[in-house]
Structure 1
Amino acid sequence: MLRNTLKKGLIALSFAAFLSLPAYAKNVQEVKIVQDVKGNQIEIPTQVTRVADLWHANNQIVLLLGGADKLVATTDVIQKNPWFGEVYPNIKNVPALTNGQTVQMEELLQRNPQVALLSNAKMLDELKQAGLTGVLVSFQNFDGLKKTVKITADVLGDNAPKIAQEYIQELEGNIAFVEARTKDVKEQDKPSVLHISSGSNQLKIDGGKSIIGDWVNKAGGRNAFPDQANLVEVSMEDVLKANPDVIIVGSTDAQASVDKILQDANWQGVNAVKNKRVFVNPTGTFPWDRYSAEEALQVLWAAKLFHPNLFKDVDMVAKTQAFYKKYYNYALSKENAEQILQGLPPLK
Structure 2
Amino acid sequence: MKVRTQFKIVFIAIVVFIWGCGFSHARQITDMQGRKVEVPEKIHSVYGTSPPVTYMLYAIAPELIGGLNFPCREKEKQYLPTRLQTLPVIGGWFGQGQTPNLETLIQVNPDVVLAWYMKNSPICRKTEEMLIPMGFALAYISLDNLEDYPETFRFLGRLLRREERAAALADYAQKTIDKIKAVRDLIPESEKVSVYYAEGTDGLSTECDASVHAQILGLCAGKNVHICPSRTVFGLEKVSIEQVMRYAPDVILSYERSFYDAIFQDPRWQNIPAVQNKRVYQIPSASLNWFDRPPSFMRFLGAVWLINKLYPQKYPVDFVDETRKFYSLFLNVNLNRKEARDIIEP
Q: TM-score range by the shorter chain?
A: 0.7 to 0.9
Query: SS of the residue aligned with 1:75?
Result: coil
Is residue 73 from structure 1 mapped to residue 67 from structure 2 by the alignment?
A: yes
Which residue does the alignment assign to 1:95? Answer: 88
1:143-182 equivalence runs, <5 A: 143-155=147-159, 157-159=160-162, 161-182=163-184
Rounded to whole Å, the distance in 2 between the matches of 1:187 and 1:258 is 28
TM-score, with normalisation over the residues of structure 1?
A: 0.80
Is residue 305 from structure 1 mapped to residue 309 from structure 2 by the alignment?
A: yes
Query: SS of the residue aligned with 1:86?
Result: coil
Report if the CA contact (8 A) 1:49-1:70 is conserved. Answer: yes
CA 1:331–1:40: 2 relative to 1, 3 Å: same
Report if the CA contact (8 A) 2:320-2:341 is conserved. Answer: yes
Which residue does the alignment assign to 2:110? Answer: 113
The runs of 5 or more residues in structure 1 that have no matched partner are 1-23
Q: Kindly report the root-mean-square deviation, in angstroms, between the aligned alpha carbons of the 2 structures.
A: 2.6
Task: Please state how far the C-alpha of 1:113 moved relative to its aligned partner.
Answer: 0.9
Report if the CA contact (8 A) 1:85-1:91 is conserved. Answer: no
Report if the CA contact (8 A) 2:270-2:276 is conserved. Answer: yes
Deviations 1:255-299 (A, max 9, x none): 211122332222223211221211111223421112211222111
TM-score, with normalisation over the residues of structure 2?
A: 0.80
Report if the CA contact (8 A) 1:103-1:123 is conserved. Answer: no
Rounded to whole Å, the distance in 1 between the matches of 2:258 and 2:108 is 39
Rounded to whole Å, the distance in 2 between the matches of 1:107 and 1:181 is 47
CA 1:318–1:87: 2 relative to 1, 3 Å: farther
Rounded to whole Å, the distance in 1 between the matches of 2:70 and 2:202 is 21
Query: SS of the residue aligned with 2:30?
Result: strand
Letter in 1 for 2:55: Q
Which residue does the alignment assign to 1:242? Answer: 247
Which 4+ residue blocks in structure 1 deviate beyond 6 angstroms? 24-27
Report if the CA contact (8 A) 1:247-1:277 is conserved. Answer: yes
Query: SS of the residue aligned with 1:49?
Result: coil
Report if the CA contact (8 A) 1:52-1:73 is conserved. Answer: yes
CA 1:334–1:86: 2 relative to 1, 3 Å: same
Is residue 33 from structure 1 mapped to residue 20 from structure 2 by the alignment?
A: no
Deviations 1:305-342 (A, max 9, x none): 00122233x11111111122223332122232223323
CA 1:201–1:57: 2 relative to 1, 3 Å: farther
Is residue 83 from structure 1 mapped to residue 83 from structure 2 by the alignment?
A: no
1:36-51 equivalence runs, <5 A: 36=32, 38-51=33-46
Rounded to whole Å, the distance in 1 between the matches of 2:340 and 2:333 is 11
Report if the CA contact (8 A) 2:47-2:54 is conserved. Answer: no
Rounded to whole Å, the distance in 2 between the matches of 1:226 and 1:139 is 23
Report if the CA contact (8 A) 1:240-1:269 is conserved. Answer: yes
Task: Please state how far the C-alpha of 1:235 moved relative to its aligned partner.
Answer: 2.9
Which residue does the alignment assign to 2:207? Answer: 206
Rounded to whole Å, the distance in 1 between the matches of 2:129 and 2:22 is 29
Report if the CA contact (8 A) 1:57-1:286 is conserved. Answer: no
Q: How many residues align?
A: 311
Deviations 1:197-222 (A, max 9, x none): x4445222123213454422222321
> Which one has the largest radius of gyration?
1
CA 1:259–1:137: 2 relative to 1, 3 Å: same
Report if the CA contact (8 A) 2:253-2:280 is conserved. Answer: yes
Is residue 255 from structure 1 mapped to residue 257 from structure 2 by the alignment?
A: yes
Which residue does the alignment assign to 1:292? Answer: 296
Rounded to whole Å, the distance in 1 between the matches of 2:109 and 2:188 is 55
The runs of 5 or more residues in structure 2 that have no matched partner are 1-19, 117-122
Rounded to whole Å, the distance in 1 between the matches of 2:299 and 2:144 is 12
Letter in 1 for 2:336: S
